[in-house]
């Protein structure tokens, strides 16, 4: 059983798109997505420096466009592009990539939504100095209790040994000085406390925009970040995505659903590595494929053919 996943903010790095843009079809598709996002994504993926590519309003459209364009390269001629996967899921903003790949949104709809999502979240983050810190290791219950004691939110629960705490910089500084036992804390290079109450202003803005979108129903299973469950309706998926801006990402529950569904292979769209790394730790025995560069496409197609069910490949 094949699951295809799309990474969230923080997976990008300066220049990561350079090898992909050597392909004329990929470049043409990215330029079209750039127009929909009103942002030069070719520049962002090749010339932007670490600070520029870190900016929320740049990083989010860049990640979604990369995933959409790479999915079209992986399954040329297939519409929607990820229909041959048995299930799809995206981490945080990667959900927009997953919804486009499953046919819930058109690529242009996804790009307009991610453009406004990024802008709204950047504006919300500018109101109060906030941030996010990864907590690696430690006893899960103690980690969660310490996060709560410092007034923080467990904004990302990524599975065994990896929780992301989010809140004000003052709260995060106090947390760093008094961390959970046997845990390592690592500040993340993000612009705000995403998936917390600090993002509430962005929810209303995106909800207004999403209300005018007519989503389709998914062509394959789509898992929601809200609770890791498979959701059948396009409108429900879109509403969940909007609300997710200010509520925690439960990737741990998505991992459990992958296991319950009997997944045998997980392929991560570029910029890949984060989610397959988590899967290797959480889902022992499941094959993973991190699609990072275009010279891996033939091997990636073979991986998909090996793991997709007969129904998915016909």
The neighbour count for residue 149, using CB atoms within 10 Å, is: 12
Instruction: State yes or no: is 224 an active-site residue.
Output: no
Which 8-state DSSP code applies to residue 233? -
The neighbour count for residue 296, using CB atoms within 10 Å, is: 16
Helix axes 56-74, 94-101, angle to 10 degrees: 30
Check: CB of residue 1 under 8 Å from CB of residue 265.
Answer: yes
| CA distance linking residue 267 with residue 275, whole number of Å | 9
Could you tell me which residues are beta bridge partners of residue 38?
none
Cis amide prior to 297 (ω within 30 degrees)? no
Helix axes 56-74, 24-37, angle to 10 degrees: 140
Instruction: State yes or no: is 254 an active-site residue.
Output: no
Which is it for the CA torsion 202, 132, 105, 257, positive or negative? negative
Q: Which of 91, 150, 195, 307 is catalytic?
A: 195
Q: What share of the chain is helix, strand, coil (3-state, %, to 5)?
A: 50, 15, 35
Check: CB of residue 101 under 8 Å from CB of residue 82.
Answer: yes
Q: Which of 34, 92, 247, 254 is catalytic?
A: 92
| CA distance linking residue 247 with residue 245, whole number of Å | 6
Q: Which of 215, 202, 194, 198 is nearest to 242 (CA)?
A: 202
- The catalytic site residues sit at 92, 195
């Amino acid at each position: 059983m094949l699951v295809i996943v799309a990474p969230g903010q923080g997976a990008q790095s300066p220049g990561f798109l350079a090898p992909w843009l050597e392909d004329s079809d990929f470049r043409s598709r990215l330029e079209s997505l750039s127009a929909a996002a009103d942002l030069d994504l070719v520049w962002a993926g090749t010339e932007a420096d670490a600070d520029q590519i870190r900016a929320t309003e740049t990083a989010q459209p860049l990640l979604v466009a990369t995933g959409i364009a790479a999915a079209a390269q992986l399954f040329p001629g297939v519409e929607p592009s990820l229909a041959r996967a048995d299930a799809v899921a995206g981490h945080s903003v990667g959900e927009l990539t997953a919804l486009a790949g499953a046919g819930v949104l058109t690529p242009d709809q996804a790009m307009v939504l991610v453009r406004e999502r990024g802008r709204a979240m950047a504006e919300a983050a500018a109101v109060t100095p906030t941030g996010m810190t990864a907590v690696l290791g430690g006893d899960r219950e103690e980690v969660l209790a310490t996060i709560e004691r410092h007034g923080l939110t467990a904004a990302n629960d990524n599975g065994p040994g990896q929780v992301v705490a989010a809140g004000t910089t003052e709260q995060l500084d106090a947390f760093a000085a008094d961390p959970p036992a046997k845990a390592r804390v690592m500040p993340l290079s993000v612009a705000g406390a995403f998936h917390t109450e600090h993002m509430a202003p962005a929810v209303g803005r995106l909800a207004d925009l999403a209300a005018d979108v007519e989503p389709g129903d998914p062509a394959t299973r789509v898992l929601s970040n809200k609770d890791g469950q498979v959701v059948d309706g396009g409108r429900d998926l879109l509403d969940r995505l909007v609300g997710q801006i200010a509520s925690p990402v439960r990737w741990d529950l998505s991992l459990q659903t992958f296991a319950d569904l009997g997944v045998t292979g997980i392929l991560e769209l570029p910029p890949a590595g984060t989610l397959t790394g988590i899967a290797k730790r959480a889902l022992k025995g499941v094959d993973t494929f991190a699609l990072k560069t275009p010279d891996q496409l033939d091997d990636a197609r073979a991986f998909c053919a090996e793991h997709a069910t007969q129904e998915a490949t016909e």
